[in-house]
Structure 1
Amino acid sequence: MTLEWNATEICLALGVRPVGAAEIAGYRQWVDVESDALAGSAEIGRRQQPSLEAIRKLAPTLILSSKFRHQSLEARLRTFAPTVLLDDQPSDNDLLAAVYGNIRDAADALDRQPAAQALLADFNERIDQLKILMAESARGRKILVAQPLPGVPRLRIFAPNAPVARLLDKIGLPHALDLPPEPFGFTTIDLEGLAAIGDDACLVLLADHVPADLSSAALWPMLPVVANNGVKLAGSRNWPFGSTASLAKILQDIASALS
């Protein structure tokens, strides 16, 4: 049983269908990794507040979730089944290392170690392939990945320690702003903050279009990155807080946007 989307993605990627999962419809909409395999999984409520009664009735043999999300419920969850909480907010803020570590921890709990080794090897190979593919287009460029925030002219900027930013750096696209690591891997900036991005950088939006809240602002066309045609769209169907499959999709969509 999984109480968080990241745990659900990892389980499905390892070939294990959870008997129950939280917010299945939302998982299909935002994450959409092996979603068809959830056809037989029961809905157990919201990620923030799973139904303890639904969990009890399903009698799971293992509960897999997030340390950040459900540490306060751990003692209660353990009365239903052995519980493993993945550390998705590590104290050292190394969120990419946490992606790898969480897969290994989940595999140990699920007895799927060979599947985890194959999953991580395939992921590393895809990163290496993207590095080769983007060798020319990445040369000398810096990048900033962001999510528009609805209703306001602000962006959620992924910090240098976010998994997507760390992987882009490995590929050869370093971060375009001098930002500190963030506990959740992102910070929020306004249009004035975007003015610090050089005209040689790219701003990649995880969106299908530039929101009107941004494009209609008087400052927007004056930003160096905008004036130099440096804003690219990677599509809104991306989940930057997920595991390897989610991250591989984002990187591929970014590569397509930059090509």
Structure 2
Amino acid sequence: MRLLAPALVTAAVLLSACGTTESPTTAPTASSGGPVTVTDARGKAVKLESAAEKVVVLEWGETEIVTSLGVMPVGVADAAGYKTWDVAAPLADGVKDVGKRNEPSVDSIVALDPDLVIMAEGRDTALAGQLEAYVPVVVTKSSDASRNFDRLREDVKVIAQAIGKSAEGDKLLSEMDTALADGRKAVEAKGAAGTPFVMADGWLEGSTVNIRPFGKGSLVSDTAEALGLKNAWTGEVDAQWGLGATDVEGLTALTDPKTVLFYSASEDDVFTTGLAGNPVWQRLPFVASKKVFKLEPGTWTFGGPKSVVRVAEQFVKAITA
């Protein structure tokens, strides 16, 4: 979900394809250390001789989950990008880069002799089939704007089962739930429940700043609403990621003076460099009232439970200040 061109942002799906909507499930191991079977986002039963130890991961959110569970991948897609955009679960220096997330190298993956490859649904429908000639593949849903928290739980449980870390997966989800509950209490104690917010990222195209709002159903929006906040963005968003498209003029629809803007920019900060002198930007209520908050660099807005906690903590800190 690195920043994409506007034409892609407005597409029905931001990634290349959407597969089955069947919920991933897990099957118990036959015995301790024995075979493992998981049913992934394709509805496909993936059988492993034992829990995977050498894992290659092709999407950042899933990389974060695997690493959070205590298993360091042997290879990931765009390792440098992950280290920039997601610091919630750091990678070891020795993890191999296997290419781009949307175009990983099959040769590089196979050369690592992994027990399992984990990839996101929609990245490349043909890639899973190519890899399965050499290694088992588990496909995750990765995002679903109609049920993102349930989807995240399912992805975590499937991954945890596949790598023999089910207890750690349950603990990871429990820690996320506790952080959200504690954050909601803090927001309510401040009398800030119901505060309207907008979350966005953006990029510069020529002299125009393209803005991508995170609408209802995006993982960040679900996180903020779990804290008791209200998403003020009501524009059209896609069905998988809950993301929209607008420009600075489009933000003028947000007139409630209580609205708070959060934005993400782990690389180029176009909200500062591209909008600082824009008169339309300067007149927006959240800009005029200095209610604009940049998420800390390395806060991945499409991540796992640790990223959810990281986002929640920053929202709570800003809202209750």
What TM-score, normalized by structure 2, do the two folds share?
A: 0.74
Pick from 302, 309, 319 the counterpart of residue 241 of structure 1: 302
Deviates most, 64-73 or 150-159: 150-159
Report the structure, 1 or 2, having the larger helix content: 1
Pick from 123, 128, 131 the counterpart of residue 74 of structure 1: 128
Secondary structure of the 2:211 match is strand
Residue 64 (structure 2) pairs with residue 9 (structure 1): yes
Secondary structure of the 1:99 match is helix
Residue 250 (structure 2) pairs with residue 193 (structure 1): yes
Q: CA separation in 2, counterparts of 1:204 and 1:137?
A: 19
Q: CA separation in 1, counterparts of 2:235 and 2:149?
A: 17
Pick from 136, 149, 174 the counterpart of residue 121 of structure 1: 174
- Assess if the C-alpha contact under 8 Å between 1:5 and 1:242 holds in 2: yes
**1:242 positional shift:** 0.8
Query: Could you list the per-position Cα deviations for residues 113-168 of structure 1 after superposition, in whole angstroms to 9, with x for gaps in the alignment?
Result: 11111110111001111111222152341111111323533321101101111121
Pick from 147, 161, 178 the counterpart of residue 94 of structure 1: 147
Letter in 1 for 2:117: I
Secondary structure of the 1:49 match is coil
**1:101 positional shift:** 1.4
Aligned equivalent of 2:11: none
- Assess if the C-alpha contact under 8 Å between 2:84 and 2:297 holds in 1: no
- Assess if the C-alpha contact under 8 Å between 1:148 and 1:211 holds in 2: no
Pick from 265, 288, 291 the counterpart of residue 230 of structure 1: 291
**1:58 positional shift:** 1.4
Unaligned runs of 5+ in 1: none
Letter in 1 for 2:283: M
- Assess if the C-alpha contact under 8 Å between 2:223 and 2:311 holds in 1: no
**1:218 positional shift:** 2.0
Aligned equivalent of 2:19: none
* TM-align CA RMSD: 2.0
- Assess if the C-alpha contact under 8 Å between 1:95 and 1:161 holds in 2: yes
Residue 260 (structure 2) pairs with residue 202 (structure 1): yes
- Assess if the C-alpha contact under 8 Å between 1:6 and 1:243 holds in 2: yes
- Assess if the C-alpha contact under 8 Å between 2:211 and 2:245 holds in 1: yes
Q: CA separation in 2, counterparts of 1:235 and 1:179?
A: 26
What TM-score, normalized by structure 1, do the two folds share?
A: 0.91
Q: CA separation in 1, counterparts of 2:111 and 2:290?
A: 55
Counterparts of 1:73-222 in structure 2 under 5 Å? 73-90=127-144, 93-135=146-188, 136=190, 138-151=192-205, 152-182=208-238, 183-197=240-254, 198-207=256-265, 210-222=271-283
Secondary structure of the 1:154 match is strand
Q: CA separation in 2, counterparts of 1:4 and 1:211?
A: 29
- Assess if the C-alpha contact under 8 Å between 1:71 and 1:85 holds in 2: no
Distance 1:112 1:43, change over 3 A: same
Secondary structure of the 2:244 match is strand
Secondary structure of the 1:214 match is coil
- Assess if the C-alpha contact under 8 Å between 1:154 and 1:214 holds in 2: no
Query: Could you list the per-position Cα deviations for residues 176-232 of structure 1 after superposition, in whole angstroms to 9, with x for gaps in the alignment?
Result: 122355222211211221111121211112248742322211212222332233322
Aligned equivalent of 1:25: 80
Runs ≥4 residues deviating over 3 A: 207-210
- Assess if the C-alpha contact under 8 Å between 1:95 and 1:185 holds in 2: no
- Assess if the C-alpha contact under 8 Å between 1:205 and 1:235 holds in 2: no
Give the length in aligned residue pairs.
257
